[in-house]
Chains A and B, each alone.
Chain A
Amino acid sequence: MLTMEQNISPFIDTVQKYSAELNKNNSPDWFKKVRENGLSRFTTLGIPTPKHEDWKYTNLAVLSNTPFKPAARVALSFQDQIQRICAKDEITIVFVNGILNEQLSSLDNLPKGLVLLPLNKAITEHETQIKELLSKYKPTEDTPFVAFNHALAEHGIYIQITDKTVIEKLIHIVHVTQSTEASLTTASNFIILGKSSEATVLETHVCFDQSVYLSTPLTDIVLAENAVLHYCKAQSESLKSFHVGNTRVWQERDSHFDGFALMNGGEITRNDLDIISNGEGTSSTLNGFYGTNGKQHVDNHSSMDHRLPNCTSNQLYKGILNGESHSVFNGKIFVRKIAQKTNSYQLNKNLILGVNCRVDTKPQLEIFADDVKCTHGATIGQLNEDEIFYLQTRCISKKDAVKLLAHGFVEDILNKIQNPAIIKKLTILLEPTFAALE
């Protein structure tokens, strides 16, 4: 448990102050309540310490010593870089310092069946949907940073796709941060897919300078019956930033969630992906790649909760570690008592290229039903010397050989993404990872 000392840290003070200020504005009462509940929950939980089983390998003590302030509205000086990762034929939603920037976004001419609203509008116009979504989760089970996000919820995007609609265009949410002092951003995104609908959403978190900030985005996703969502979260932020993100997915009968997570930025990154399969016949894909360098720390947590029968889940996370970096992987698979005929597969592969790297991996199975097939695996190793040697005999220098093989290692997983536009963008975001191999 946390000591009192941590609870009265300046960090918590800031959160309390800011949350109270937010509640003075004219948001609806029910939403003020959400903030209050989030705040009280976060104040009780505090910043997690490595004594918590879920935070065993990630130490956030540095946060409590950093004087964070809410991020301010700025004029973005990196428009070109933004253009590079955006395209004309997509629906782009750009947040600068956690605040929606309508000039950079393309919110006009939305296809039929797609509702796209900033959070402050959505909480009045779509109160029932958001309330219903939030009611699916027990507040007591919230992780500290879900509570944190609720306490400071102000900006975000609300995406709703009506029943039997397929949105062909890529919906691209860009979070870019640029700040001169330590700042806080908390985006709260909601993605609600109606029955038999389909969409592709890419959420990128980028920063083009050395800003210091903490971003704690929360994306809540609901897939109604037979819905399909291709979702990718890419984080390639400043090497001085902290990213503690949560994605929660709720799946109804026969829905398909196809997720991908790319993490290669940030000083300390923690990404939680929780999927609850609450209907029969759902399928879920959770793939991911992380590339670390220098003293970076990347922690990927995932939880796949099979609550009903006949569901499948597939997970493959790969990582390349360079420099003195540290990666953590924790994959949980729960199979509840009635979730018979579950098929669940999980694999974590780590490639260590640096000298003083550290890998902590914990693939975890908790199974309460008997007629299931669940497997998990983890590997940690280096590049195969024979393969390098073979390439060298073909007049490829050792350095190039290493690069070539590392590319192959990454491509294997990138190719699992179905949308070529996303692959293209991820390749751009992966440039620093490959540059580190030089």
Chain B
Amino acid sequence: MPKGEEKILNEKTIQENTLSSRDYKYGFYTDIETDRIPKGLTEETIRLISTKKHEPEWMYEWRLKAFRHWKTMTEPHWPNFDYGPIDYQALSYYTAPKTKKGGPVGNIDTTDPELIKTFERLGIPLSEQKRLTGVAVDAVFDSVSVGTTHQAELAKVGVIFCSMTEAIEQHPELVKKYLGSVVPYSDNFFAALNAAVFSDGSFCYIPKGVRCPLELSTYFRINAAESGQFERTLIVAEDSSYVSYLEGCTAPMRDENQLHAAVVELITLDNAEIKYSTVQNWYSGDKEGKGGIYNFVTKRGKCVGKNSKISWTQVEAGSAITWKYPSVILQGDNSVGKFYSVALTNNRMQADTGTKMIHIGKNTKSTVVSKGISTDESNNSYRGLIKIMPTADGARNFSQCDSMLIGNKCSANTFPYIEVKNNSAVLEHEASTSKINADQIFYLQSRGLDLEGAISLIINGFCKDVFKELPMEFAVEAVKLLEMKLEGSVG
């Protein structure tokens, strides 16, 4: 197909998406010249990725070790999923947009204007004049970061916020020290794959005593076909520092399934706090379950220092398959781990998500609030682990996982594992599954709301505990997202 024609077609797709069906407004494709490596995954591929990114030898060695370990592993099939085999040799592991005049990747000034436009369309303006105030953005497009905003402003207070590639180049000592310290490459199948082929991601370093003046955020966009996205995020919060980090993701609508296998590592030292929020809206496939992103993500935080705190807040509204268990290792005494999640599945989406809280230090506390909503023919599972080690005197946990079912073809499952090896631990776990209360709907309708409005309001209330943990703008976005997703599936 000639290029021009494809472009027109794509424009049309956006129009259709925004006007006729409000299913997925980010489903467009940007036609852009790319630099991609051939399909397949061998040691040669790893070398190629490493060379393209001008990486030092130690990084290459690490990738290679991970790859060799990955080859010994088999894909896990314990989650509650039903999907065909993934051909790891049929993917291209590196796809980068070509830059203007052959300038370096990762600099906004040399980035193709078409790309900037794409991000604007997604609601993420990158150019100087239009930048969002109060939020620094790292934009990741396919395999590379295309630019990071507000870097100079952050540098003034000593905060490092850049792409992973840049971090390996400019702060090798920090990357060497922390990369893989929370999620080692041998952790699981997808973490090993990611360690071998990761192409970019974000790196944040908050120095001692600094409260990061801006919200940091990364926007992930998959664009190219027959490729996967493998990014790695590393956030280190030094003593008494604080950072709030946001993550958003979208991809074009395609009939094929695409693989996304990311790793996120968080480290907090004494008295530090990281607040990590995600709104995940990858393309989830059509009504028949065709297409969509396979999202296999390993996210883990480690409260290394005393009194440190990590909180995960996630709104999972996309992806054909979500396999994600943001965890916290509570190693420092008095450290706190929190997990707030809303997982919405519609059409034929399958989500198996939850958290792990590993209590090691004394007086460690964790809170888990998970809300699952399943509609249409989707399958939504909560799978969590609360583990109290013998050293964790005075550990405390509260877990609550509620599921709501809309329609009689969907399913909701809860698999909470609770393992306690210390006699001073206090744990509470409660879970419920139910449908929307007919009385509540009737009451709202009697007050003049239509059915959809009533349901939307009830769902909003159902998820309130989680939404209130999200940063303001994100919360508004999340509410809208849920409303949009639920449209047409109720009533």
Contacts and interface: CB of A to CB of B under 8 A. Distances in A.
Interface residues of A, number: 37
B425 interface: yes
A372 B418 CA distance: 25
A155 interface: no
A369 B406 CA distance: 9
Given A371-B408, A372-B435, A364 B415 contact: yes
B405 A365 contact: no
A358 B413 contact: no
A361 interface: yes
B407 to A, nearest CB: 6
B423 A377 contact: no
Interface stretch (A178-186, A379-387, A420-428): A379-387
A57 B387 CA distance: 13
A115 B415 CA distance: 43
Nearest to A366: B413
B88 interface: no
A378 B413 contact: no
A363 B423 contact: no
A379 B419 CA distance: 12
Interface in B361-405: 390, 403, 405
Interface stretch (A8-16, A31-39, A191-199, A348-356): A348-356
A32 B419 CA distance: 43
Interface residues of B, number: 33
B433 interface: yes
Interface in A269-308: none
Contacts of A362: 415-418
A68 B371 CA distance: 50
B426 A372 contact: no
Contacts of A363: 414, 416, 429, 431
Given A356-B390, A360-B418, A370-B408, A380 B426 contact: yes
Contact of A358 (B421, B430, B435): B421
A242 B406 CA distance: 46
A337 interface: yes
A378 B415 CA distance: 12
A169 interface: no
A374 interface: yes
Given A362-B415, A368-B411, A377-B429, A357 B423 contact: yes
Contacts of A370: 405-408, 410, 435
Given A364-B415, A367-B405, A378-B429, A372 B424 contact: no
Given A356-B423, A365-B412, A368-B411, A374 B434 contact: yes
B427 A378 contact: yes
B418 A374 contact: no
B428 interface: yes
A401 interface: no
30 contacts: A57-B419, A337-B408, A340-B408, A352-B420, A352-B423, A352-B425, A353-B423, A356-B390, A358-B420, A360-B418, A362-B416, A363-B414, A363-B429, A365-B412, A365-B433, A368-B410, A368-B411, A370-B405, A372-B405, A372-B433, A372-B435, A373-B434, A374-B432, A374-B433, A375-B430, A375-B432, A377-B430, A377-B431, A378-B428, A382-B426
Interface of B: 78, 390, 403, 405-421, 423-435
